[in-house]
Chain A
């Protein structure tokens, strides 16, 4: 079946899969199905045999496994180091298949009339039945742990984090169906034949699994582009000690191990409770196996229903680590009833309430483990770097898992001895175990809460900043104001000596010059003196005296000029002259420029302020430039309305914004009035947010937010730009979340409508494909969406997210989606993700149609 057909086949079942993933998804599904089929057949037989052994020895099964697992892990890691992964998986499965035949043979010898009787073996087996039960128990634990670990390693190898999150539900369904099949098979066959006969079916299943494993690994090479050798190198060095060191070095992994250990201990204590209750029923081996088969079948069927109905939704709605809380909280509450009911009554025997409670609690534990808990625990591994992950996973899944089982077994032995369980009734035993389980469930919950924050940090490591903030980068490299003043200085050399000298004086005396800037001034002097590059720096019609640039820096000259400017006679003279120039329409533009520039150097007397106000209404942009520069020096409130009016002139807008910035936050009210005034020219209103952004205080942010809430389309872009600028410079400013969310949803709705527009099918008529014009508009709105999100969510995370959605690699995009999944709330995720995920156009349209109506209903 080709990829297209596979994709369509899976889509028919509403699986959230992409065309290029179909083969990998289906092969992983099959892998999990086959493994769990065999697993549940073996488990049913194992548990039935274990319950038949004296309860004093139950702890021995778990503790023995825990102790011996270390040797198995050592052999396992050596094989992982030496053999390619594909070969290793195939060999281990073949080994397990052979073991199953062996155990069938051994258990057959325990029968009064075995199929292939070998008297010495029969005698030995019957004398050491418990030993063989122990061996089988140990072996089946190894099989289960190794098989599941290998499967999830394969998932990690083939899928990226967000891919895995999308597909994990589908894969778990495969596991559940396999479990249902296996337990049903066990339940039915155990009524027709001895329990150990079930084992004979499993080798065939495992041999089929070998075939599927090879397909999975071939798919891994195809999709991830990494060869067997590369994965082998990644996994090299995975020893038990190496795994232990890796886990110890990483806090995240330690907490993950702790979560797994707590969950295993709670599960085991619940399992012991279950065994006490089942043992109290007094059933034969065959009946017990049949009941267990039915019980597991029911659990798995319920797990499947639960999983199909809720796991996907839970993963979508909850942040990943928090989804792990569901199981321990539920079990915590489920343990409590045992303190109020009886599982056994001395005169009447086992109670129905007790049996159903035990089955329900164990069923719930297994159900969560089969669905949400297992899925989320595996997803928690995915953000970890490959090298660390492979070292840790084997160690955690095998050793920590078994160590926890061992601890649980020791706990059982301890309480068994301490409280003389052999002399107590089932109620007492079950309640003591209940207290322990309750305490460990609390530990479990606390660790989940801790890892919640760490998961977020782990995700971010693979999401790079692709480009730095342009404004900040520019400001770190150049002084923009100086640059513009310097350019004006050069231009003024062509216009007049007075203007040039004034500009030079202002630059030299008002600004602290860096070495580079002083050199720039000196360059002008050098060029003027040498006249060697006469075409580069043209001198105007007037004669410049050599050394003006050095002279102007002389402190004596500076003091003299200030003294002259302060002379009452000078002021009196200049008041008249400047008044004439300001009011005289026939004065030359250069004269007006000189006058406007000079006013910035003079004391702000009423006449100066008045005349400057007249110059702020001059028709020449060059004159206005100097008038604004002078107004910024004086910062007189009379000039504010005039300067604001100049915001509407594109030639002067930047200079007007600079002048208003010089006034500082005290003019925020004046700016607010003009911003809100719908009768004011749009050119003026759109220039105001930049000034407020430069103030960057809470009041400025509030003004912009209030205006954003009015939802005026013509201002939206500048308002969002201004708000974003404030946020990028001031982490402490607060933004009204409701207003931001409304604006975000409004933009999302517009993008949604753009995709859904019926007339916008692509060149080939493909539904959902947008043309270039709409795509451009969508892209700009997407930028604004992320700019707004950065106001109310962690700034750096959102900036990175936008950049990687825009230009990230496949891997970084996937991590970005996982990060956003963890940051954003359900509502935003629901509406935003279909717009930014890598979907087929038709699939995007389908999803957008689904929630377009609810977006509109929200008033977005």
Chain B
């Protein structure tokens, strides 16, 4: 899994490439660790771009939820964009879409921060 981080005004965009699964070969920081490092930078609003994520396992779900909690407890917001149909189905079935804000495209996700 590879994560590219960019800033868009006060919002951080994380472009995730690969699967968010348990991987013994992973050397880099996990998703939650990267989110926490952004919180330590003073960032509070983060968008996760799932356009290149094919699958997540329970570890991946745990990482997303842990990130959501960490951001939310500091008064920030986590939003997801460009989720595949497969993943969205999983999120719907598990009702994660009730907890996480999911957008069709990342521009809408960014705009939603401005409206708030």
B16 contacts chain A at the CB level, 8 A cutoff? no
C-alpha gap A134/B87 in the complex (Å)? 87
Tell me whether B74 and A487 are in contact (CB under 8 A): no
Instruction: Report the minimal beta-carbon distance from B19 to chain A, rounded to whole angstroms.
Output: 10
B40: min CB distance to chain A, Å = 6
**Across the interface, do A650 and B69 meet the contact criterion of CB distance under 8 Å?**
no
Residues of A within 8 A of B65 (CB): 474, 480
How far, in angstroms, from A52 to B91 measured CA to CA in the complex? 89
A284 at the interface (CB under 8 A from B): no
Report the Cα distance A470→B74, complex, angstroms. 10
**A477 and B39 in contact (CB under 8 A), knowing A487-B56, A487-B58, A488-B57?**
no
Nearest CB in chain B: distance from A440 CB, A: 50
Residues in B whose Cβ lies below 8 Å from that of A480: 65
Q: Among A466, A470, A523, A655, find the residue whose CB has the most chain B CB atoms closer than 10 A.
A: A470
A485 at the interface (CB under 8 A from B): yes
A622 to B, closest residue via Cβ = B22
CB A684 to nearest CB in B, in angstroms, measures 16
**Interface stretch of the complex, out of A19-27, A125-133, A777-785:** A777-785
Whether A477 contacts B42 by the Cβ 8 Å rule is no
Contacts A478-B94, A485-B58, A487-B57: A654 and B66 contacting too (C-beta < 8 A)? Answer: yes
A731 at the binding interface (Cβ < 8 Å) = no
Residues of B within 8 A of A779 (CB): 42, 74
Do B99 and A477 touch across chains, with their CB atoms under 8 A apart? yes
Across the interface, B73 reaches (CB within 8 A) one of A470, A484, A537, A650, namely A470
A474–B58 touching, CB < 8 Å: no
User: When the two chains form their complex, are residues B23 and A783 in contact, meaning their CB atoms are under 8 A apart?
Assistant: no
B103 proximal to A (CB < 8 A): no
Residues of B9-44 at the interface with A, using a CB-CB cut-off of 8 Å, are: 21-24, 26, 30, 33, 39-43
Residue of B nearest to A782 (CB): B74
Cβ-defined contact, B68 with A474, below 8 A: yes
Does A302 belong to the interface (CB within 8 Å)?
no
When C-beta atoms are compared, the residue in chain A nearest to B95 turns out to be: A478
Among candidates A490, A619, A621, residue contacting B90 with C-beta atoms closer than 8 Å = A490
| B90 near A487: Cβ-Cβ < 8 Å | yes
22 contacts between A and B (CB under 8 A): A467-B72, A469-B73, A470-B73, A471-B69, A473-B99, A482-B94, A484-B62, A487-B58, A491-B55, A535-B86, A536-B86, A536-B89, A621-B22, A651-B24, A651-B30, A652-B59, A655-B58, A772-B41, A773-B42, A779-B42, A779-B74, A803-B75
B61 part of interface (Cβ distance < 8 Å):
yes
Q: How far is the CB of B37 from chain A (nearest CB, A)?
A: 11
In the assembled complex, which residues on chain A have CB atoms less than 8 Å from the CB atom of B73? Answer: 469-470, 783
Q: Does A564 contact B (CB under 8 A)?
A: no
List residues of B whose CB falls within 8 A of some A CB: 21-24, 26, 30, 33, 39-43, 55-62, 65-66, 68-69, 72-75, 85-86, 89-90, 93-96, 98-99
* A318 in the interface (beta carbon within 8 A): no
> Is A776 an interface residue, CB under 8 A from the partner?
yes
Contact A516 B42 (CB under 8 A): no
Residues of B within 8 A of A30 (CB): none
Q: In the bound complex, how far is the Cα of B73 from the Cα of A471, in angstroms?
A: 9
Other-chain residue from A469, A471, A473, A651 in contact with B23 (beta carbon distance below 8 A):
A651
Docked complex Cα distance between A654 and B69 (Å) = 14
Instruction: Tell me the chain A residues, 758-799 only, with Cβ under 8 Å from chain B.
Output: 772-773, 775-777, 779-780, 783
Task: For B90, list chain A residues within 8 Å (CB).
Answer: 486-487, 490
Please indicate the chain A residues that have their CB under 8 angstroms from the CB of B85 in the complex: 536
Q: Which residues of chain B are near A474, meaning CB under 8 Å?
A: 65, 68-69, 99
Smallest beta-carbon distance B97→chain A, Å: 10
Is A209's beta carbon under 8 Å from chain B? no
Asked if A484 meets B75 with Cβ closer than 8 Å, knowing A650-B30, A651-B22, A780-B39, the reply is no
- Collect the chain B residues with CB atoms within 8 Å of residue A773's CB: 41-42
Q: Which 10 A-B pairs have the closest CB atoms?
A: A776-B42, A621-B22, A470-B72, A484-B58, A483-B94, A520-B93, A651-B22, A654-B62, A470-B69, A487-B58
Which of B22, B40, B72 contacts A625, CB < 8 Å?
Answer: B22
Task: Check if A478 sits within 8 Å of B42, measured CB to CB.
Answer: no
A466 and B75 contact, Cβ closer than 8 Å, known pairs A471-B69, A478-B95, A486-B93: yes
Given A477-B95, A803-B75, A806-B75, does the pair A652, B56 have CB atoms closer than 8 Å? no
User: A807: which of B39, B61, B75, B99 is its contact (CB, 8 Å)?
Assistant: B75
Does A809 make an interface contact (CB < 8 A)? no
Q: A478-B99, A619-B24, A776-B41 are in contact. Are A651 and B59 (CB under 8 A)?
A: yes
Verify if A620 is at the interface (C-beta below 8 Å from B): yes
Chain A residues, CB < 8 A from B62? 484, 654
Residue of A nearest to B66 (CB): A654
Taken together as a complex, chains A and B put the C-alpha atoms of A536 and B59 apart, in Å, by 20
Interface string of A744-766 (1 = CB under 8 A from B): 00000000000000000000000
Contact across chains for A523 and B93 when beta carbons are under 8 A apart: yes
Q: Whose C-beta in chain A lies nearest to the C-beta of B73?
A: A470
B45 CB → nearest A CB, Å:
13
Chain A minimum-CB-distance residue to B40: A776
Q: How far is the CA of A478 from the CA of B96 in the complex (A)?
A: 7
Contact between B69 and A651 (Cβ–Cβ < 8 Å)? Answer: no
**Cβ-defined contact, A478 with B98, below 8 A:** yes
> B33 and A650: CB pair below 8 A?
yes
Cα-based distance from A480 to B100 in the complex (angstroms): 13
B95 interface neighbour in A466, A516, A776, Cβ under 8 Å? A516
Closest partner residue, chain B, to A657 (CB atom): B62
Bits for A636-659, please: 1 = Cβ < 8 Å to B, else 0.
000000000000001110110000
> Is the pair B24, A620 in contact by a Cβ cutoff of 8 Å?
yes
* Cβ < 8 Å to B, chain A residues 601-633: 619-622, 625
Which residues from B are CB-within-8-Å of A519? 93
From known contacts A536-B85, A625-B22, A783-B74, infer whether A470 and B68 are also in contact, taking CB-CB under 8 Å: yes
Rounded to whole Å, the gap between the CB of B12 and the closest CB of chain A is 12
Q: Hey, which chain B residues are within 8 Å of A654, CB to CB?
A: 59, 62, 66
Distance in Å: Cβ of B27 to nearest Cβ of chain A: 11
Residues of A within 8 A of B72 (CB): 467, 470
Q: Could you tell me the distance between the alpha carbons of A776 and B89 in the complex, rounded to whole angstroms?
A: 37
Q: In whole angstroms, what is the CA distance A817 to B59 when docked?
A: 42
The interface residues of chain A lying within 8 Å CB-to-CB of B95 are 477-478, 483, 516
B72 nearest CB across to chain A (Å): 4
**Is A467 within 8 A of B75, CB to CB?**
yes
